[in-house]
Amino acid sequence: MPAQTLKVGLIGAGRIGRMHAGNLATQIESTELVMVADVWEENARQCASRYAIPAATDDYHDILAHPEIEAVVICSSTDTHALIIEEAARAGKHIFCEKPIALDLPSIDRALAAVAEASVKLQLGFNRRFDASYSRVHQAVQAGEIGRVQQLHIISRDPAPPPISYINGSGGLFLDMTIHDFDMARFLVNSEIDEVFALADVMVDSAIGEAGDVDTATILLRFNNGVIGTIENCRQAVYGYDQRVEVLGSAGAIRTENQYANTAIISDNHSVRRDLPLHFYIERYMQSYITEIESFVDAVLHDKPVSVTGYDGRMALILGLAAKKSLAEHRPVLLSEFIDDAGREA
């Protein structure tokens, strides 16, 4: 056992929660996973059994009341995040929370106020910042390797759409899927975004449209340093998980490609081909999920700033709301339309 160990409680034992449980229990030496909670107690018990977690409960308040637990990892449904953040902060627990904090600004602002008042740490789960390829792009931009940045292009496509039940509670494409890309855009360009223009439609599944959402979108961004960015999203890419980025600068460019299960390439007299890319986000970003929790644990144990702040989560939500407004009103939307209002509300 390391000299310093962080005792953690996990709230939410669904797919993403079970993944974090496995990482906390088997991949991160400086953590001790003490308890897991899920509204479906059987989920919690199965997770506890699989990863040798000492206690399981159907009430996350048991975690918040546990005197030895120092930090919580929140993987519950989106509509519970803000309230649990507030309660965890008041209980004196440090907090790692999956995105988003909430789907509206007032809820986010209440949660962030509680965190500030309690002087606890809050890190948001924008795991792509910790991916080795995207980190290298960020490094190149920061170091000036490609000169002054001029353009950014992000492609993010899922292999298949989620269930309609998920769509109904997700906040929609911009607040569920594109929110990662909004955060990545700010991270890679190292600048705030002034203006958003979104075009989107239902091209994959009519049921998504009937649920009031879209499944295919292109978003144009203007950063306050003059950079122009584009984001392409689609709920379906039949060939697998499509995750690419390119940044063009005055002295060159840097880009990342999809990741594959192997590097084999087959060449014959008909074609040159390879196997399909990795199929879903847990495969593609497995190491980044480990690295982001390691970063959070290091920040708590050594009293360092977290890598992804509540402010980052707030800005990503504002960008998603701006994209929704742009689509609804068929026009570019200035971030000041939200920032000013949000400032008065806060």
User: pLDDT tens digit string along 51-84?
Assistant: 999 999 999 999 999 999 999 999 999 999 999 9
Predicted pLDDT at 3: 60
Predicted pLDDT at 169: 86
What amino acid is encoded at 318 in this protein? Answer: I
Yes or no: say if 174 and 198 are a contact pair by the CB < 8 Å rule. yes
DSSP E strands, the chain:
6-11, 31-37, 55-57, 71-74, 94-97, 122-124, 149-157, 193-201, 216-223, 228-234, 242-249, 252-256, 265-267, 272-274, 333-334
108: pLDDT strictly greater than 60: yes
Predicted pLDDT at 282: 80
Helix axes 310-329, 178-189, angle to 10 degrees: 120
290: pLDDT strictly greater than 80: yes
23: pLDDT strictly greater than 80: yes
Predicted pLDDT at 2: 59
The two structure tokens encoding residue 249: 């600068």
341: pLDDT strictly greater than 80: no
296: pLDDT strictly greater than 70: yes
- Which of 107, 68, 125 is CA-nearest to residue 91? 68
Q: How far, in Å, CA of 7 to CA of 91, rounded?
A: 14
Q: Edge-to-edge strand order for the sheet containing 94-97?
A: 55-57, 31-37, 6-11, 71-74, 94-97, 122-124
Predicted pLDDT at 283: 85
Yes or no: say if 214 and 170 are a contact pair by the CB < 8 Å rule. no
Judged by average pLDDT, the poorest of 143-157, 159-173, 232-246, 315-329 is 159-173
Share of the chain above pLDDT 70, in %: 97
Q: How far, in Å, CA of 131 to CA of 42, rounded?
A: 33
Q: What is the mean pLDDT of residues 233-240?
A: 96
Delineate the domains of the chain, giving CATH numbers in brackets.
6-120 (3.40.50.720), 132-285+314-345 (3.30.360.10)
226: pLDDT strictly greater than 70: yes
DSSP, residue by residue, 183-230: HHHHHHHTS-EEEEEEEEE--S-HHHHHTT--SEEEEEEEETTS-EEE
170 or 67, which is more confident?
67
The two structure tokens encoding residue 90: 């008041």
Q: How far, in Å, CA of 231 to CA of 178, rounded?
A: 8
Residue ranges in 91-215 assigned as alpha helix (H): 105-118, 132-143, 164-170, 173-176, 178-189, 206-210
220: pLDDT strictly greater than 60: yes
- DSSP 8-state class, residue 98: P
Q: What is the mean pLDDT of residues 203-216?
A: 97
**How many residues make up the chain in this entry?**
346
30: pLDDT strictly greater than 60: yes
Q: What is the mean pLDDT of residues 32-38?
A: 98
Q: What is the mean pLDDT of residues 14-31?
A: 96
Paired sense of beta strands 228-234 and 149-157, if any: parallel
Judged by average pLDDT, the poorest of 220-229, 256-265, 277-286, 294-303 is 277-286
Query: In whole numbers, what is the pLDDT of the chain averaged over residues?
Result: 95
Phi, psi at 31, each rounded to 5°: -125, 150
What amino acid is encoded at 207 in this protein? Answer: A
Residue holding tokens 């109904």?
168
342: pLDDT strictly greater than 50: no
- Which of 125, 96, 174, 128 is CA-nearest to residue 313? 125
Neighbouring residues of 172: CB distance < 8 A, sequence distance ≥ 6: 212, 213, 214, 324
